[in-house]
Amino acid sequence: MRADKKVVLRLLKTARGQIDGIIKMVEEDKYCIDIVHQIMASEAVLRKTSKIVLQGHLSGCVSEALDGAPEEREEKINEIIDVFDKLNK
């Protein structure tokens, strides 16, 4: 992985903490809208984390592949297209 591991791990641990909090809120039968807000906050942290990892991949692995063999370039391009397809669902 080319992204800053410390940053990625910190964000993932933040999301994990948020999700643990959401589970507790559900168990304690908290107000639905408060639960939804916490879910949206967790999603935002995960989106930010995904962006950081993807940026690392693009600037490292994909950049190197563009200088490599045509098959390698094609593989990396297809990976990115697949990611964008999933993001648009």
Read off φ and ψ for residue 76, nearest 5 degrees.
-65, -40
Structure tokens at 15: 């999301």
pLDDT at 46: 97
pLDDT greater than 90 at residue 71: no
CA-CA-CA-CA torsion for 15, 45, 41, 23, nearest 10 degrees?
-20
Residue 73 has pLDDT above 90, yes or no: no
Residue 35: how many CB atoms within 10 A of its CB?
Answer: 16
Do the beta carbons of residue 35 and residue 26 sit within 8 Å? yes
Domains of the chain listed by start with CATH number: 5-87 (1.20.58.1000)
pLDDT in tens, 28-45: 999 999 999 999 999 999
pLDDT tier for residue 25 given thresholds of 50, 70 and 90? very high
pLDDT score, position 69? 83
Looking at residues 36-63, what average pLDDT do you find?
Answer: 93
Is a pLDDT exceeding 90 seen at residue 89?
A: no
pTM over 0.85: no
